[in-house]
Amino acid sequence: MSVTAGDETSIASSPKLLGKGAFGIVYEGSWNGEKVAIKRIDKTEFLVLNEAAVDSSSGGQRREEENMKKLDHPNVLKLLHVEIDENFKYFYLEFCEATIGDYNKGTYTGPMPPSEADSLHQMASGLSYIHAMGQVHRDIKEDNVLIHKSSVLKISDFGFSKPTTASGSYSLKSGVKGTQNYFSPELLRLAEEQASFGILAHQRSNVSSDVFALGCVFYSYLTKGKHPFADPRGSFFIPANVLKGKCKLEVITDPLFRSIVGGMIASNPVTRWSLDAVELQLKPRLTQNC
């Protein structure tokens, strides 16, 4: 990971923009002769502070680098190298062709895993590994699942990730983070509490909120872009439907996929399916069932 004499990095003079999110601008570049994606993050966003410091500071809290460095799994985007200058931090990442969002919109029509079951299983096994490594992702959504040219899906964007206890729980001292339309009902309730009282000092959540978000991604992947809690009045009404448990599962025609997604987006985090259960149910349907 460190810079060595042999390392060669480059960004073309007018680099190709690959994507833009809330925090990073991502360009195409090269590293040791390999095509890579380079995510540039503003200095103010990558300060990694401890929990106590976060509570008393308005500074950024980016654990993206330290968390990604611990992860090594085919379905998790690999951080290859890091560079820093006075204003920015640059993450050199495995290059991917597109996101699941692009696939859903039809703007990506290239190689995909051999079957829908394989795609779902790959996403579940990437997230399950992240949880097993003691991390919660907190921003699972269709734009944060990337498609590699080898037809492999990879969970990406660890900007909101944080460590968990062995049982998968984590503190909300620094607030509820993520993308609202993928929040589980329990996170939405906590976000409301945060909006009313300003702080969630002693509240905790756990990795099952990532499972809920992945259930929403499964749904959008299977329906080419629909949201399970969509509302004819517009996406503004999604959180209200999540809180009411008002979803349209019947749109998923395959009974196995319907029951898996239903289990993942269950309102009660206690009865919500585990990723182990999801993987087990998908296993008989995998192309290479080993």
Ligand X SMILES: Nc1ncnc2c1ncn2[C@@H]1O[C@H](COP(=O)(O)OP(=O)(O)O)[C@@H](O)[C@H]1O
Tell me the binding residues for ATP: 39
DSSP-based three-state secondary structure for 90: strand
Site for ligand X in 162-191 (CB under 6 A): none
Q: How many CA atoms lie within 13 A of 32 on its CB side?
A: 12
Size of the site for ligand X (CB under 6 A): 22
Q: Is 140 among the residues that bind ligand X (CB under 6 A)?
A: no
Site for ligand X in 46-85 (CB under 6 A): 77
Selected from 31, 71, 79, 94, the binder of ligand X by CB under 6 A is 94
**Triad 290, 155, 274: Cα angle to 5°:** 60
Query: What is the helix (H) or strand (E) element at residue 94, kind and residue range?
Result: strand 88-94
- The residue (of 80 and 260) whose beta carbon lies closer to ligand X is 80
Query: What is the rounded distance in angstroms from the CA atom of residue 93 to the CA atom of residue 81?
Result: 7
Query: 3-state SS of the chain: helix, strand, coil percent to 5?
Result: 35, 20, 45
Q: Identity (one letter) of the amino acid at 272?
A: R
- The residue (of 131 and 154) whose beta carbon lies closer to ligand X is 154
What is the token pair recorded at 36? 């890579």
Q: Is 213 among the residues that bind ligand X (CB under 6 A)?
A: no
Residue 188: contacted member of ligand X, Mg ion, none (CB under 5 to 8 Å, by partner type): none
- The residue (of 19 and 126) whose beta carbon lies closer to ligand X is 19
- The residue (of 177 and 258) whose beta carbon lies closer to ligand X is 177
Radius of gyration of the chain (CA): 19
Selected from 24, 113, 178, 239, the binder of ligand X by CB under 6 A is 24
What is the token pair recorded at 34? 């390999």
Q: Identity (one letter) of the amino acid at 158?
A: F
Nearest residue to 32 via CA among 59, 70, 5, 54: 5
The interface region with ligand X, picked from 55-63, 89-97, 120-128, 268-276 by CB under 6 A, is 89-97
Q: Is 22 among the residues that bind ligand X (CB under 6 A)?
A: yes
- The residue (of 144 and 209) whose beta carbon lies closer to Mg ion is 144
Q: Is 26 among the residues that bind ligand X (CB under 6 A)?
A: yes
Which positions touch ligand X (CB under 6 A)?
A: 18-24, 26, 37, 39, 77, 93-96, 99, 143-144, 146, 156-157, 159
